[in-house]
Structure 1
């Protein structure tokens, strides 16, 4: 992909990469961080990078918004039950999935880490979120396509036939989200081939938490949903935003229809990249795509005091990020509920008239 030149730093200063993985790279130089012209939301994924994200955010608090949580690709190393032995944990998780592949399972288990009790994961998550008042929950989510590898970090990576049971993923995800809701923290959510499970989860969370749920925001990162499904989501859930990345979404032309379907006030941009030297460039690529689809002008200089009608793409995206961070979204009553409330009001009014 050939990227256009980046704009002046005065413009880039207002750009936010809402999802990236800078600590996944072997090393991050101080010069790379000092030269980073945008703000980044640095995601955690597994046990090893929670502390790396902490350290990066502590060193560069003006540029890094830390995000803590366990990615669904690593949810199999978390045990819902306390005190379960390693072999038993993985046998319980995978054995019933592919009965004829018990030999592969026994070959896989020795290379997997000891399971981490969910209670320990949640304790560490709570500590990290409390230590960083601006921190988010991320990257967390659901993935029905990912297959467990014999060695995740090997090149090339040798995959097994095993996927992580969706019920297990949901337990891990739900527990993490409950803490985010309790602490009022926004969420970056991964969803791959789990559209209906994600829709069901959103409905469940709204039902469980009510106004506490809409107090926070949730970003569907590198969203691959259909435009119709996204339209349904944004009608039902005022706190759900959408962000796209060229590294993932540009593989399909669907991302342009998603941008078109998305409310102008709900769209965000990301790089989803693990090389911090490329985050600004990759994020700017998506800024340009959003501008092209939405018909928004691209700023060539930064001007203050503009009317909203004169805003360019960067200012609009910055305003969206502000709405996302602020949360406190208003639930939109369904037409049925609105009609019911209207009927109740009319009934009360008639009763009052009879009492006069």
Structure 2
């Protein structure tokens, strides 16, 4: 294998190139990047068709590279298209680690789980913990399994996105539209035959069709700046007399814990 492998590239060089590209294109996203347990080393990266060796890429190696890329995305506030192939738990752990490390800076950017195939139960947990993570589905990949219907059912209406995930530009629009119609059918949303919205008023969202809903979801994804999932708890004050209410601030400044166990009678 060694003669067939390309020369090693320092990760620092890759990150320098990534940072330079971001600065040259202010609206560029990071991606597609991610984790893939089924990825194998090619016998010859320049051959057509490409022949694959039996050797896979260690997931820890992938996580190290992906984490470094995400750090640049956080630094420069760029959204991310993230794939996850047979690495659902590793991806979930990575999202949690980034959230705990960066908090507000992490929630300022949006993450698109691209052609995502996680279990509905895992998606519900990700959705609950990460207000900046969106679920994007495609018929090209996700329709291979009925799991995508359960995923759509379990997903919040404001977190869904649709894509084609196909390499041929001639099929991008029809493949995306196919997934849009699937989402509409599962969610019970009408499919607009024309743009029948007189204004951009958001007060009648129950009347929105699937196109308007997905458009608003995309705007939310592109905009970023998502609310913190760490909601401060209101302190429990004890009224009357000279009874003391002792407050303890948790390690995270956004989390308050009330302790009224001490009384002074």
TM-score normalised according to structure 1 size: 0.64
> Does residue 346 of the first structure (1) align with residue 243 of the second (2)?
no
SS of 1:281's equivalent in the other structure is helix
Match of residue 4, structure 2, among 108, 111, 115: 111
Q: CA deviation at 1:248?
A: 0.5
Query: Which residue does 1:189 correspond to in 2?
Result: 82
In the TM superposition, 1:44-83 aligns within 5 A as none
Match of 2:96 among 203, 209, 217: 203
| 1:267 equivalent in alignment to 2:160 | yes
Do structure 1's residue 322 and structure 2's residue 219 form an aligned pair?
yes
Q: Secondary structure at the match of 1:246?
A: coil
Report how far residue 158 of structure 1 moved.
2.5
The aligned runs of 1:126-275 (5 Å cut-off) are: 126-152=19-45, 154-275=47-168
In structure 1, distance between residues paired with 2:45 and 2:169? 22
Residues in 2 aligned to 1:195 and 1:252: alpha-carbon distance in whole angstroms? 16
* C-alpha distance in 2 between matches for 1:320 and 1:139: 20
Q: CA deviation at 1:109?
A: 2.0
C-alpha distance 347-305 of structure 1, shift in aligned 2 (>3 A): farther
CA, structure 1 residues 180+348, in 2 after alignment: closer, same or farther (shift >3 Å)?
farther
The whole-number CA distance in structure 1 between the counterparts of 2:49 and 2:80 is 32
Alpha-carbon distance, 1:181 to partner: 0.5
Gaps of 5+ in 1: 1-107
Counterpart in the other structure of 2:230: 333
- TM-score, length of structure 2 as denominator length: 0.85
Give the alignment's Cα RMSD to 1 decimal: 2.0
**Structure 2: any 5+ residue segments left out of the alignment?**
246-265
Structure showing the higher helix proportion among its residues: 1
- 1:213 and 1:251 mapped to 2: Cα distance? 32
Q: Distance in 1 between matches of 2:122 and 2:77?
A: 26
Tell me how far 1:153 sits from its aligned partner. Answer: 5.3
- 1:231: Cα distance to partner? 0.6
Counterpart of 1:78 in structure 2 is none
Write the distance in 1 (CA, Å) between the matches of 2:108 and 2:9. Answer: 30
| TM-fit CA distance, 1:157 | 3.5
Of the candidates 205, 209, 212, which is equivalent to residue 312 of structure 1?
209
Q: State the aligned residue count.
A: 240
TM-superposed deviation, 1:127: 1.1
Taking a change above 3 Å as real, the CA distance of residues 345 and 211 of structure 1, as seen in their structure-2 partners, is farther
Q: How far off its partner does 1:132 sit? A: 1.4
Aligned partners of 2:136 and 2:77: how far apart in 1?
20
In structure 1, the residue matched to 2:171 is: 278
Describe the superposition over 1:284-304 as per-residue Cα deviations: whole angstroms up to 9, x where unpaired: 111111111111111101123
Separation in structure 2 between the aligned mates of residue 326 and residue 232 of structure 1, nearest angstrom: 23
